[in-house]
Amino acid sequence: MFGRKSSRGKAKAERLVREAVGGRNLAGTSIYLIYNPKAGSYSEYNVNNFVHAFSAVGATVVPIQTKSKGHAKGIASSIMETPTDGFSKRVIVAMGGDGTSGEVLEGMVEGQKAVVSKALSQYSDVLGDSAQYGATARDIDEVAEKIAASKPSPVKEAVCSAAKTYFFPYASGTANDGAKAIGCGSPSAAIRNLAEGLVANESETAYMSLLAVGTSDKEGDLQERLTYAHTGIGFMGNIAARVDNTFLHRFKGYLKGLIYPLAALLQIPGQEAYEVNLEIDGQPVEIAGDGRGKSRLYSLDAGQVPRLGSINQCFPGADPFNNAQVMILDGTTSKAQGPLTLLKAKAGRHTRDKGVHMYSTLGGYRGEEPAEEVGIPPAARGSYQHFESIISWSSETPTTAHVGGEVLTGIHKYSVRRVNGAVRMLSKPSK
């Protein structure tokens, strides 16, 4: 019985890929499938189907199993620094949850940084001032263009290889908010969208932005993690901690997305507001304070995808290519109001509520731009303020944060910074 199921699964996956590529052969494409066997909805069945389907159309597929926390980051970084050996495209697929994707993205950016650094050392006469370059995919493209006429070298080959390396998520976790938001929330959708992207025109390459989330204890320096989905501190961080660190963890695989609403109900009675020093784009901001410059907040959450756990429209219209959003719940409302706001957020009807403060990197939702142009649902229009790139929180009270599925406790300092054009995808997947 299991053999027949496996055969049917491979045949279905292969059919999806062949239909998507339209008879074209993918020889010259290498796919590194980094999969996390401890992810919430991991299945060896899906790994085998993926490898079979893309191998059947000529792609070289290299499956790599993660062994421990942080392993995916090291794998991705090593891939980014290694020349492609003649392949015309290289894709790093993160098969896991939002946490696995975050590790892969951190590795890719770390690898890009190493490649740019080597290029700046060898081609300083061509590249000029090193201060103008960062570690993003856009920086890689600029370096590749400027050294195109230089003599071949291992460094030049590494730069050119990094310039044709792409990220792709395959949902295999519990919430999978990032993958779902870009149409890759199921095995069949992920396989189809990846296959379509591999044969799309180069002009359809999309640069994905990331959220760089800095956290530290009371005295330490900020340590940054990356995510393309969402992050937060306060109420939602406490909910994530309940799921990971209490009896609820045993039911995570069974309840899946329902686990977070249950944790929220358990968190409500003990949730207090925090006294916070809040800054937006470097400027102090006081929300729900008493005139002393301190804000009184339940939580601060940021996202580049609409969905946050089981909350379908927490960040209406957000996406990792164009629009990062921040939602702040202030302490002027009752404890029950916060969860009520989150329930309304399932339909995107919370953005005008008392105690809710919404910010967006796009801005223009107060009449400066047509809301239709930025994909904002009608219920959310006219309710946003603009922020350029960074929002920070500091508090004397230790707080719990979450970053792409990872729970961080004892946090006193927290910041969210948008990194534009950080990595590349083959194209914006169809939803």
**Dist CA 19 CA 334 (whole Å):** 54
Res 202: pLDDT: 61
**Dist CA 77 CA 13 (whole Å):** 29
Q: Which two tokens stand for residue 30?
A: 């290498």
Q: Which two tokens stand for residue 278?
A: 């809040």
- 209-425 and 2-199 share a CATH fold: no
- Classify residue 311 by its DSSP letter: B
The sheet with strand 29-35 has its strands ordered as 60-65, 29-35, 89-96, 165-171
Spatial contact of 136 and 109, defined as CB atoms under 8 Å apart: yes
The residues, any chain, with a CB within 8 Å of residue 174's CB and separated by 6 or more, are: 39, 40, 41, 97, 252, 253, 256, 257, 259, 405
Domain 2-199 class in CATH: alpha beta
- Classify residue 308 by its DSSP letter: B
Cα atoms in the 13 Å half-sphere on the side-chain side of 119: 36
Helix, strand or coil, per DSSP, at residue 136? coil
**Dist CA 328 CA 289 (whole Å):** 14
Q: Which of 308, 311, 396 is nearest to 347 (CA)?
A: 311
**Dist CA 143 CA 229 (whole Å):** 28
Q: Which of 333, 406, 330 is nearest to 103 (CA)?
A: 406
Q: Which residue has the tokens 């008392």?
A: 354
Pure H helices in 246-356? 252-255, 259-267, 337-344
* Fold type of domain 209-425: Tumour Suppressor Smad4 (2.60.200)
The residues, any chain, with a CB within 8 Å of residue 117's CB and separated by 6 or more, are: none
**Dist CA 265 CA 336 (whole Å):** 9
For the chain, the domains span 2-199, 209-425
Q: Give 10-residue mean pLDDT values along the chain (431 residues).
A: 67 92 91 90 88 95 93 96 86 90 94 94 89 89 92 92 92 76 83 90 77 88 88 90 81 69 80 92 92 92 85 83 89 68 69 85 52 53 78 94 88 94 78 55
Res 73: pLDDT: 95
Spatial contact of 173 and 99, defined as CB atoms under 8 Å apart: yes
H or E segment and range at residue 108? helix 98-122
Strands 230-234 and 390-403 turn out to be antiparallel
Q: Which two tokens stand for residue 375?
A: 């994909």
- Cα dihedral value 336, 342, 348, 349, nearest 10: 0
Spatial contact of 308 and 326, defined as CB atoms under 8 Å apart: no
Res 52: pLDDT: 94
Q: Which residue has the tokens 């300083």?
A: 124
Spatial contact of 337 and 271, defined as CB atoms under 8 Å apart: no
- Classify residue 253 by its DSSP letter: H
**Dist CA 92 CA 97 (whole Å):** 15
